[in-house]
Amino acid sequence: MLLFDSLFLLVATGYVIVSFTKCRKLSVWFLIATSICFAMHIWIETYRWQMIPAYMITLVAWLRILGRRTESSKLGLTLNLILVVTSLGLSYVLPVFEIPAPEGPYGVGTTTRHLIDITRPETATINPEDKREIGLKIWYPSATSDYPKANYWSNSHERNRAMLAGFKAPETFGFLFSHIAGIVTNSHVNAPVASGPFPILIFSHALNFGTSEQNTILMEHLASYGYLVVSITHTYGGLFYRFPDGRMSRSEKIQKKSRRIFELEQTDELDNLSIHSTDSLEDLTNLLLRAGEILKQTTAFHQDNIDTWSKDQIFVIDKLFEFEKDEPLLAGKLNTDLIGVFGMSFGGTTSLQTCVLDTRCKAVANIDGFQINSIYLPPLQVPLLIISEMKYQWNRVTFASAISRSYLVSVSETEHANFTDLALLSPLLIGTSVLGTIEPGRGLELINTIVKTFFDTELQNLEGKHVSDLDISEVIITHNDGVKSRNRKTRTQIRDQLIHFENGAISL
């Protein structure tokens, strides 16, 4: 919760309690203090709907004073108590969560860019003349904090509507997530970049509900330790994006199709395959083969989107080489010899394909992305990190067959949303299919540590602990130093078998 937000609730609670004592003078002082906190809260932090019951206490109290009615009935006092408890409860259930301050030696700056790839048509729109457009949110090391801090969400009203549409909820509930607009990050808008150059990390979000800001806590953490992090908005594949000319990209069409895909994928056989435990590469590959047969109807949909997003990532890499030469804010600040690619969920799946196809990628991390498409790809030749829920086995084939050093990190008591900032959205989600039982802040802290350690040692070759050296009680870390030539041949044979899978092959 925010400062004056918390103070207002605290003092309003005190006012209600004192009112029961019938000590009028003390009640008046508490009312004045409540009113001051109320005014500061509205002026500095902004209104939020969870506080409406507490607002009513203050307004009704002043109306009574102005009407020269100083006595409060027991019913009125009881209603005040109910109102303040209601605001406290709503603020707990849907809090204005805090973005923890990054711990690195640098301050953090942030900026945005909009790119148009004139060589590619936009396949998600009706107009055949449309070209592919994407957005960038960039976090970077900064040496100054004399610039305004960025809000967590921009265009919050449109984002609320997009989120509700994704949940198929009526727009009358558009207020539910409006409080997220009040969350302020630790990043300073358009602050000068510190003296570089800095290694580059390219990030891709999740499908449907994903946004370029969904892992802001991780992005700020990495930037504070000297990384320039570029998060891509894959238009028409994420939650929402407003183009510079006012047009809006929302993913309802893809959401509808992916919901149907999701329904097709919910089979007992697939669930049983996903949790099957084996350390044999051959057995794991056979599991993926069987999963591929089950998922024939969905493979083409996923691969089309992976291809589009991978081309987005490669296009961004191309543009970063141009930015290094002449971009007003970033020129001379980018170390284009050190480029890592990573993503969460579908973005993680995409990242592995990009790093197979583009040799400028020097390390790749997949955060809880389902990597079934890896069986259609040549073996990965750069260091790999896979972080995922402990219960699923799909990504073990990618891990076991990687040519370079690879790490498989399984995090206990997690669900998919634990790997994003949405882990902090509501404590009511803990222990559901959305969030596991791990303490949300602790889960995000683990991800920060693991991802930074991976890129420190595998991308920059810095001295220090490797991922496999981390001692974290909530995770199981498996690593290998790359398969030997004999296994490479086996891996290539597997790929040759699978490349002819109906609707499964990709163009290499």
pLDDT tens digits for range 397-419: 777 777 889 999 999 999 999 99
Compute CA distances 83 → 29, 76, 86, 191, whole Å: 20, 10, 5, 43
Is the pLDDT score of 252 beyond 70?
no
pLDDT band at 447 (very low <50, low <70, confident <90, very high): very high
**Helix, coil or strand: residue 445:** helix
Q: Which residues pair with 476 in a beta bridge?
A: 410
With a cut of 80, say whether residue 488 has pLDDT above it.
no
Provide the token pair at 23.
Answer: 């000590």
Cβ atoms 158, 240 nearer than 8 A: yes
Q: Name the percent of the chain lying above pLDDT 90.
A: 43
Which is more confident, 167 or 186?
Answer: 186
pTM as predicted: 0.84
What per-residue confidence (pLDDT) applies to 150?
94
Contact 5, 96 (CB under 8 A): yes
How does pLDDT run across 75-90, given as a tens digit for each residue? 777 888 888 889 888 8
**CA atoms of 303 and 67, how far apart (whole Å):** 68
Residue 498 has pLDDT above 50, yes or no: no
Task: Please give the mean pLDDT across all residues of the chain.
Answer: 82
Name which residue leads in pLDDT, 502 or 52.
52
241, pLDDT greater than 80: yes
Task: Report which of residues 367 and 303 the model is more confident about.
Answer: 367
Query: DSSP characters for 127-169?
Result: -TT-EEEEEEEEEEEES---SPEEES-SSHHHHHHHHHHHTT-
Q: What pLDDT score does 170 carry?
A: 65
Collect all residues with Cβ–Cβ distance below 8 Å to 181 and sequence separation of at least 6: 46, 151, 152, 153, 156
Among the residue ranges 57-71, 140-154, 327-341, 378-392, the one predicted with the least confidence is 57-71
C-alpha 243, offset from chain centre: 20
Long-range pairs for 79-82: beta carbons < 8 A, 24 or more residues apart: 80/16, 80/19, 81/16, 82/53
Whether the per-residue pLDDT at 255 is higher than 70: the answer is: no
**Whole-angstrom Cα Rg for the chain:** 25
Model confidence over 419-438: pLDDT tens digits? 999 999 999 999 998 899 99
Collapsing DSSP to helix, strand or coil, 100 comes out as coil
Confidence of residue 192 (pLDDT cuts 50, 70, 90): very high
3-state secondary structure of 475: strand
Q: pLDDT tier at 463 (50, 70, 90 boundaries)?
A: confident
Span 329-334, mean pLDDT? Answer: 96
Q: Which helix (H) or strand (E) holds 301?
A: helix 296-326
Q: What is the pLDDT of residue 308?
A: 93
Contacts of 485 (CB under 8 A, 6+ apart): none
**Is pLDDT above 70 for 499?**
no
Question: CA 454 to CA 342: how far, in whole Å?
Answer: 11
In Å, what is the CA distance from 349 to each residue of 153, 170, 329, 367? Answer: 25, 32, 31, 9
Higher pLDDT among residues 208 and 127, named by residue: 127
User: Residue 195 above 90 pLDDT?
Assistant: yes
Q: What confidence score (pLDDT) does residue 134 get?
A: 96
Grade residue 493 by pLDDT with cuts at 50, 70 and 90.
very low
Question: What do you get for the CA distance between the two ends of the chain, in Å?
Answer: 50
Contact between residue 504 and residue 498 where contact means Cβ atoms under 8 Å apart: yes
